[in-house]
Structure 1
Amino acid sequence: MPIINAENLDLAFRGFKSIYSTAYLAAPSQAAKVAMTVPSSSRDESYGWLGQFPQLREWLDGERVVRQLKAHGFTIVNRKFESTVSVSRDDFSDDRLGVFKPMFAEMGHAAALHPDEIVFGLLAQGTTTLCFDGQNFFDTDHPVLDPDGAIVIDGETYSPVSNFDDGAGPTWYLLDTSRAVRPIIWQEREKYEFQNVNRLNDERVFMTDNFLYGIRARVNAGFGLWQLAHASREALNAANYAAIRAQMQTLTGDQGRPLGIRPNVLVVPPQLEEAAFHLLNTETQDGGGSNPWKGTAEIVVTPYTGG
């Protein structure tokens, strides 16, 4: 029977933490494929620079032309998350700690996949969640400054741009993740930390006869640039895929300058996994001939978009 003392309790904690860490590192998280990670130093972070695409101009005479960044007032507030389990002192005394190993492994697995749940869950909320320009992230009328536009808002001329196609099917997403800025921002204030309350003189341990183990984090996700993402509920087929790729690659910023967008990630729910692999991994098309879309985007299959 193990002696319950500080040394053995610390040894048990390090063993549980090792199991947790191994599972955490082995979990197949995919959030980093679509989101940029930004460290946070306070309760929230403001991203006033979103929507600005710095582009070069020929410098002929005179001084530089200084473009002042617009303050869009877009802020991501950190959220706090936890998961806690208890281990009875009796189980420790009876040397039954081995039965808890799968629980701590699952805790590590869940912590590693939690960013996926938040990031891809946010992507699924894009048609009802505002981004930096005051429109829903996926919308049909994002305002883009254009000298030849037909819509005038507050004295400035705009042309509405869409990055959403409605339909009756599951939603799929085409993204450009090749740039420094990405469609999703993953914000980390405090990373996932494995903690414990196992001191014998702790009041809670004394009153409950249980040792506590858990994880804690302060994180959140928010939308980056809508120009780098397109959502569609139409059928996932070659025609629709080609049309959206072309539309994204011809997007322009303010004053009509091309943004140089290159879609490289296709996010689909499990219902569209077969269609996605057929579209991007097969050598030939349905009607014969080579498949021009093979390998043009990485496929990310995730249940967190909700279909």
Structure 2
Amino acid sequence: MKQKAITFFTLVGLFALAVLLAPAHAVHAATAETGKGLPFIGVAGMIVNSAALQNIFTNLKATFNKAFEAAPTFWEKVAMLVPSTSKTNDYKWLANFPRMRKWVGEKTAKALAAFNYTVTNDDWEATVEVDRNDIEDDELGIYAPQAQGAGFSAKQLPDEIVADLINGAFTNKCYDGQYFIDTDHPVTDKNGIVQSVSNKGTKKLSAATQAAAIASLGAGRIAMMKFTDDEGRPLNTIPTVLLVPPALSDVANVLAMNDRLEDGKPNPYKGTITVVCEPRLTDDNAWFLLDTSKPVRPFIYQERKKPVFVQQIDPQADDVFSKKKFKFGAEARAAGGYGFWQLAYGSDGSVA
């Protein structure tokens, strides 16, 4: 009887030891959808080993990627993607974009103007720390929303960059050394005389009357359509997008879609423009007309490295040893710049 008792308790002890030493992924399957149900071992909590860490962060990466794919973006509506293969891109070519001309005699090659416009890529990151105690205590569900947030933010990085460009359009310089939206862009006419050309207005966007609509939206459209190249030929710039902050979205939609304006008169702009409302725009009065139909667009999203999921799960890393912290998040390299100012018209809305 004594011998049987010893054998029984020995078996119980061996069973408990086997459970404790079992790989975490063999005990419980992870759920990538929510981050819950990550590996654990009964009341003893999770054993932090390489297999468990790999399983956990594979789950978090799947959650990150799913949020990244689902996140909405607006930047493609107003900006163009320019892949970057170096630290800095040079955009002086914007000064002399080639156009077809009648071939009489020898071909004429346009030299690049002496403008200096470069865009340098910046480093971007979003990092989340995972406390080792949370892994041991099987409290990893709290990190799933953070993985989703990192994925969502990484997808919208171009939106953030392009919105900053728009907010700075009245104060940031473009390829010709002038503010992107300005009153005195230098343009050489067909006689070689430098003229000052404006793509800036001051009228408040209005649909109150037909006269107010013509003075605001109408004036901007006409200004853009009159832009010419350095040979005096029309650039055929026709605005396709009316870009506004939320405070102007109702007025913009009336101008774009209603048959009649608020004074009952016919709306001459119905169907001529697509409204893009961007909550990141900080000036409630400023509005912009953009021609997005050309190969080059008004704004540039320069991408050196796409946003990617990164992780640090080495148990021997300094942060793990000294602070009990693992890490995951996103990294990217990118920047923004201005394309042709001739493809944009902006009003600060300072005059009623």
Do the structures match in fold with TM over 0.5?
Answer: yes
- 1:216-295 to 2 correspondence within 5 Å? 234-237=204-207, 238-239=213-214, 240-288=216-264, 290-295=266-271
When residues 289 and 166 of structure 1 are mapped into structure 2, their CA distance, relative to the original with a 3 A threshold, is closer
Name the structure 2 match of 1:296: 272
Cα distance, 1:99 vs structure 2 = 2.0
Alignment gaps of 5+ in structure 2: 1-44, 208-212, 284-352
Name the structure 1 match of 2:194: 158
- 1:43·1:78 contact (CA, 8 Å) conserved in 2? yes
- 2:242·2:273 contact (CA, 8 Å) conserved in 1? yes
- 2:89·2:119 contact (CA, 8 Å) conserved in 1? yes
- 1:53·1:253 contact (CA, 8 Å) conserved in 2? no
Counterpart of 2:205, as a letter, is A
- 1:50·1:72 contact (CA, 8 Å) conserved in 2? no
Aligned length: 233
Name the structure 1 match of 2:138: 95
Moved more, 17-26 or 278-287: 278-287
RMSD: 1.8
Name the structure 2 match of 1:78: 121
Moved more, 275-284 or 12-21: 275-284
- 1:145·1:254 contact (CA, 8 Å) conserved in 2? yes
Q: Distance in 2 between matches of 1:42 and 1:56?
A: 31
Name the structure 1 match of 2:109: 66
* DSSP-derived class of the 1:305 partner: coil
- 2:205·2:248 contact (CA, 8 Å) conserved in 1? no
Name the structure 2 match of 1:39: 83
Q: Distance in 2 between matches of 1:82 and 1:298?
A: 33
Counterpart selection for 2:178 from 110, 117, 135: 135
Name the structure 2 match of 1:121: 164
Counterpart of 2:155, as a letter, is A
Cα distance, 1:290 vs structure 2 = 4.7
TM-score, normalised to structure 1, is 0.71
1:271-290 deviations in Å (ceiling 9; x for gaps): 11111112112233223355
Q: Distance in 2 between matches of 1:25 and 1:294?
A: 34
Counterpart of 2:68, as a letter, is Y
Cα distance, 1:245 vs structure 2 = 0.9
More helix by share: 2
- 2:96·2:111 contact (CA, 8 Å) conserved in 1? no
Q: Distance in 1 between matches of 2:55 and 2:275?
A: 42
Counterpart of 1:20, as a letter, is F
Counterpart of 1:6, as a letter, is S
Q: Distance in 2 between matches of 1:298 and 1:6?
A: 53
Tell whether 2:50 aligns with 1:14. Answer: no
Name the structure 2 match of 1:224: none
1:133-184 deviations in Å (ceiling 9; x for gaps): 1111111010110145xxxxxxx521111011135xxxxxxxxxxxxxxxxx
Q: Distance in 1 between matches of 2:146 and 2:125?
A: 15
Counterpart of 2:180, as a letter, is F
The structure number with the bigger radius of gyration is 2
